[in-house]
Structure 1
Amino acid sequence: MSFFSEYKEYMGLLIFGNIENLVLASQGAVACVNPVILGVLTIIAVIAWFVIGTLGTKIAIKYARVIEFIGGLAIFILGLQSIFGALPLVLQQFL
């Protein structure tokens, strides 16, 4: 149980990071991007964020709440953008 308690404060960042990847993937699907290219770019982005997160954690830990807020705001904005981008296609199917 001590393993989880060490990383408890990072759970918000982990959850928001995964949600952000889902939002970006859905935007790529709506834009009809090649799934192989999207997958490769997603893997590159995940590895880059892993390296940045590993190296920058000690510096950024004092700003964790601000970073979490900005990440959540970015996810919200990207989600709205994805919905508004897909809305014409959805309406076209029903009309």
Structure 2
Amino acid sequence: MDGSLKQFIGLIVFGNIENLILAAQGVDAHVNPLGLASLSLLAVICWLLIGTFGTRFAMKYARHISFIGGLAIFILGLQAMAESIPGIIAFFH
């Protein structure tokens, strides 16, 4: 791997975790799995194109991009936990 791209490894790892969180939320919301898969695949293709053609531009903003991506993942994780609290409370009662 190119040394200049190593700074994005954390974003790739946590981006995969974000995909798992979003998929779990889709299952919980009883979303059509084929529709969700189609939209997810479309999003991945869009991000691949953006990443392929926008990498040179984004290199100077790598720290900002990593921070914003990590913050989004953190917020989505908090949202997923907050939405599960009523189910957890109901489980123990």
For this structure pair, what is the TM-score category when the shorter chain's length is used for normalisation?
A: 0.7 to 0.9
Shift of 1:4: 6.2
Superposed CA deviations along residues 37-77 of structure 1, whole A, max 9, x for unmatched, are 11111111111111111111000111111110110010010
1:55 alignment counterpart: 53
Counterpart CA distance in 1 for 2:4 and 2:57 is 17
- Note if 1:82 corresponds to 2:44: no
SS at match of 2:53: helix
Q: 1:29 to 1:90 in 2, by over 3 A?
A: farther
Is residue 16–residue 72 contact of structure 1 (8 Å, CA) maintained in 2? yes
- Normalized against structure 1, the TM-score is what? 0.83
Q: Where does the alignment leave 5 or more consecutive residues of structure 2 unmatched?
A: none
TM-score, normalised on structure 2? Answer: 0.85
Between the two proteins, what is the percent identity of the paired residues?
54
How many Å apart are 1:17 and its aligned residue?
Answer: 1.8
CA distance 1:6–1:64, shift in 2 (3 Å):
closer
2:64 alignment counterpart: 66
**Distance (whole Å) between structure 1 residues aligned to residue 28 and residue 85 of structure 2:** 10
Please tell me the root mean square deviation across aligned C-alpha atoms, in Å: 1.7
Query: Number of paired residues?
Result: 93
Q: Distance in 1 between matches of 2:65 and 2:5?
A: 16
